[in-house]
Amino acid sequence: MESTPNSSYPQYASVLLEIAIDKPLEYGVSEEHVSQIVRGVQVKVPVRGKLQTGYVLELKKEPSFPKVLPIGEVVSEQELISEDLFTLAIWMSRYYATPLRRVMKSLLPASIRKNVSHKNQYFVSSLQTKEHLRNLYRELSQTHLSQAKVLEILLPASKGMLLSELLEKGGVSKSPVDTLVKKGVLHLQKIQIDRSPLSGEEYFKTKPKPLHKEQKEAFDKICSSLTKREFETHLLYGITGSGKTEVYLQAIEYALQLDLSAILLVPEIALTAQTIERFRSRFDDKIAVLHYRLSPGERFDEWHRIRKGEAKIVIGARSAIFSPVPNLGLILVDEEHDGAYKQTEEAPCYHARDVAVMRGKLSSSTVVLGTATPSMETYHNVMRGKYTLSTLHERATSSSLPHVTIVDMKREFEKAKGYTSFSEILLSSIQKRVERGEQTILFLNRRGYHTSFSCTACGHIYQCPHCDLPLTFHKGEGILSCHLCGYRISPLPRVCGSCQSGEMLKFKGVGTEQIEKSLHAIFPSIRTIRVDGDTTRHKGSHERLFREFRTGKADLLIGTQMVTKGLHFPGVTLVAILNTDGSLHIPDFRAGERVFQLATQVAGRAGRGTVPGEVILQTQIPENGTIKQAAAQDFDVFYQSEIKIRKAFGFPPFTHLIKVTLSSKKPSEIEIYGQRLREKIATLLGNSYLVHPLIPCGYAKIKDWYRCQFLIRGVAVYPMSEGIQKVLSEFSPSKTLRVQIDVDPLSTFF
């Protein structure tokens, strides 16, 4: 597009571009575009002779420069980013030390940025009576078989059908349909297809359940905030099975009565199906769903339903917090402690829980954080009076908390005269459940059959050549596989690649695949379902596997992290963690918190029906305080113990941490640039902030990229974030080196 710079326009717009230009650029708004340009509208503007996509950030009366080019094209008819989301994006950019254009990519799904269109299809309906069609069918059966076939397929359909379905069922081309349209027999029209993942599904309607005393008190506090339309954050701290979801449901119902919309965040896609089922049965088609397994078309349709106000309730994983919800009044974050809310793959490395609280503040919404195991940061905010606490001490039904047994696996190894995955009490308990027709869940956070393959003669371990990680053996596929990059070796080596020994190659470590096979060897008739990264690769697999287990098609569910979170299986009376202390050995200050949360959450899956539950925690360190507190499900004791340690060593929530990760295919480049970057940041921040040394990451190499990191610690986050951005703008890395900034990281090791 040719355009001449002109300094005389009715208005000027500051435009944020999608391409790698971090600062907004200014453009003139011509007379023809004045009525269309508002903050948040998507436009195309000339940059170096090409039209590039961007978003109007701000409107001005006067330009900052004497000569500006005009906006070339207005892409969206309405604002794509609302005022509160724009303000949220600016806050995220500042807090998470990320250029605003990258934040915008998180706010807008790719299908919206690229303007994917609605799905349209042709619909065929009849213009004649059924009797007329039958008579015409008999006539055409003698003369025009293809036209007769069209009428034969269409006759049973009362309202008509999609053209594609008609052609497929009839095995005919479009030509006979066109002929019948010309004769005035049929009508062909283009319609918009609903690609909602919920369309076509039916649910049994349910009614609100009576709330017990503690539920009612929590509900009343939330309703008070909603009525006042004032920002307030509530912590709904309830033991597993205490009825937090019913409080969510009734709070949303109250919000709808006030003509307010709601967002419900769940940490895992595995939870989405069960949550949708419960909410759809209460709220019909007022629900929209957003998560990463949706196709671009489905996400496009759901996003527009939300923006138009057709869906008043949004359910989804972390990115659903950016939904363009009009008149937002209620934000619920279920399992607020869960690490899945933290974005770690790319900038901005935001935490959806914290973003939810900020969005609530900007939109004067009520925010409810629900969990049985609050994060240290959240509970610390309660103790400081920043959040309102509601506690549910009792299970919503007559069921009681399960009995917990800690098993010392060192003694089990002595009895078995070697390693064993199962204690005697666990095998005995599984046997009882199978005999009584009850169900069991086993948790092990390692997928595969064996976790390593090595030569005992020379000590060589088969590792991924691209990552700093041993290869995992998957017996079903007969491969050694890397869980970070997908590298595979098949068939298995017969001799050691280092010393050529062929007799000393051994497998070590246990994964979910081996657990399942071992159980079938011990209990030949047992029915099992395994839920891990290998069995849930395909769309809808989570829902299918959990539905099969819930309907009693298996006696035992074996799984990784996916089986620990919020799932409700009334038939489960036994839950076991096979290696409770595995995560405690990771050198990370959050290790104890994670183990406590995990053990408590897994234990909460047992005894949710009428039969009392039992939990078995297998560990080699039964005397460990965290494991004992998790067995007692005593969060208050754990919190008091942990918070003292955090305060003594200056860890969050008493300080903020920022993790700066550098990666390159050249280790020397990381060392040189990383040390200089660290020194410049330390000099700028001064003695009020502690800048830790540059060290290798827990995974020192991923996909041929070497990785190092250093931590920055201080009380105030904004000086650290702004200091990092300032240094990076003046001392930018080369194109062969990546720098990632993670504010408030969940892991300081990996």
- Domain with residue 164: its CATH number is 1.10.10
Task: For tokens 């070796």, name the residue.
Answer: 489
605 and 672 fall within a common domain: no
257 and 383 fall within a common domain: yes
382 and 245 fall within a common domain: yes
The count of C-alpha atoms lying within 13 angstroms of the C-alpha of 320, restricted to the half-sphere facing its C-beta, is: 30
Task: For tokens 């309907």, name the residue.
Answer: 551
Identify the DSSP state of 386: S
Find, among 710, 718, 698, 628, the residue nearest to 671 by Cα.
710
Q: What is the pLDDT of residue 582?
A: 81
Residue 322 has pLDDT above 50, yes or no: yes
Q: What is the maximal distance between C-alpha atoms in the chain?
A: 95
Cα–Cα distance measured from residue 27 to residue 88, given in angstroms and rounded to the nearest whole number: 24
For residue 384, give the CATH number of its domain. Answer: 3.40.50.300
Q: What is the pLDDT of residue 604?
A: 79
Query: Among 192, 224, 239, where does a domain finish?
Result: 192
Average pLDDT, the chain: 89
Identify the DSSP state of 732: P
For residue 730, give the CATH number of its domain. Answer: 3.30.70.600
The pair of structure tokens assigned to 487 is 């590298």
610 and 726 fall within a common domain: no
Query: Among 483, 510, 537, where does a domain finish?
Result: 510
The pair of structure tokens assigned to 412 is 């089990």
User: Considering the domain boundaries, does residue 108 fall inside one?
Assistant: no
Cα–Cα distance measured from residue 267 to residue 251, given in angstroms and rounded to the nearest whole number: 20
325 and 304 fall within a common domain: yes
The pair of structure tokens assigned to 559 is 């799984």
Adjacent-strand bridge partners of 16: 55
Task: For tokens 């700093």, name the residue.
Answer: 468
Task: For tokens 């560990």, name the residue.
Answer: 619
54 and 134 fall within a common domain: no
| Dihedral angle, C-alpha 344, 345, 350, 356, nearest 10 ° | -100
Residue 607 has pLDDT above 50, yes or no: yes
pLDDT tens sequence across 506-545: 999 999 999 999 999 999 999 999 998 888 877 778 778 8
Residue 270 has pLDDT above 60, yes or no: no
User: Considering the domain boundaries, does residue 103 fall inside one?
Assistant: no
Pairing of strands 488-489, 479-481: antiparallel
Give the pTM.
Answer: 0.84
Q: Which of 268-282, 408-422, 490-504 has the lowest mean pLDDT?
A: 268-282
Query: Which residue would you say has higher pLDDT here, 247 or 497?
Result: 247
Name the packing angle between helices 352-362 and 83-95 (round to 10°).
Answer: 130
pLDDT tens sequence across 171-202: 889 899 999 999 898 988 877 666 555 554 55
User: Considering the domain boundaries, does residue 439 fall inside one?
Assistant: yes
User: Considering the domain boundaries, does residue 408 fall inside one?
Assistant: yes
Residue 139 is part of which domain span? Answer: 120-192
Q: What is the pLDDT of residue 302?
A: 85
Cβ–Cβ under 8 Å, residues 656 and 720: yes
567 and 662 fall within a common domain: no
**Mean pLDDT across 634-663:** 96
pLDDT tens sequence across 204-255: 678 889 999 999 999 999 999 999 999 999 999 998 778 899 999 999 999 9
491 and 620 fall within a common domain: no
Name the packing angle between helices 175-182 and 145-154 (round to 10°).
Answer: 80
Q: Which of 13-22, 125-134, 408-417, 544-553 has the highest average model confidence (pLDDT)?
A: 408-417
User: Considering the domain boundaries, does residue 107 fall inside one?
Assistant: no
Residue 2 has pLDDT above 50, yes or no: no
The pair of structure tokens assigned to 192 is 């918009």
Residue 271 has pLDDT above 60, yes or no: no
Structure confidence at residue 1 as a pLDDT band (50, 70, 90): very low
Look at residue 427 and give its three-state secondary structure: helix
Number of domains the chain contains: 6
Find, among 297, 343, 295, the residue nearest to 319 by Cα.
343
16 and 36 fall within a common domain: yes
Residue 555 has pLDDT above 80, yes or no: yes
The Cβ of residue 516 has, within 10 Å, a number of other Cβ atoms equal to 20
User: Considering the domain boundaries, does residue 185 fall inside one?
Assistant: yes
The Cβ of residue 126 has, within 10 Å, a number of other Cβ atoms equal to 19
322 and 295 fall within a common domain: yes
Cα–Cα distance measured from residue 501 to residue 48, given in angstroms and rounded to the nearest whole number: 62
Look at residue 680 and give its three-state secondary structure: helix
551 and 635 fall within a common domain: yes
The Cβ of residue 6 has, within 10 Å, a number of other Cβ atoms equal to 12
Pairing of strands 614-619, 572-577: parallel
Adjacent-strand bridge partners of 663: 707, 738
Burial class (CB in 10 A: 0-12, 13-18, 19+), 551: exposed
User: Considering the domain boundaries, does residue 306 fall inside one?
Assistant: yes
Residue 138 has pLDDT above 60, yes or no: yes
Cα–Cα distance measured from residue 351 to residue 745, given in angstroms and rounded to the nearest whole number: 9
340 and 464 fall within a common domain: no
Phi, psi of 339 (to 5 degrees): -65, -20
Cα–Cα distance measured from residue 455 to residue 495, given in angstroms and rounded to the nearest whole number: 9
Hey, what amino acid is at 623?
E
Query: CB within 8 A of 410, min separation 6: which ones?
Result: 620
User: Considering the domain boundaries, does residue 95 fall inside one?
Assistant: no
Query: Among 489, 510, 531, where does a domain finish?
Result: 510
Burial class (CB in 10 A: 0-12, 13-18, 19+), 740: middle
Q: What is the pLDDT of residue 256?
A: 96
Q: Which of 105-119, 129-143, 241-255 has the highest average model confidence (pLDDT)?
A: 241-255
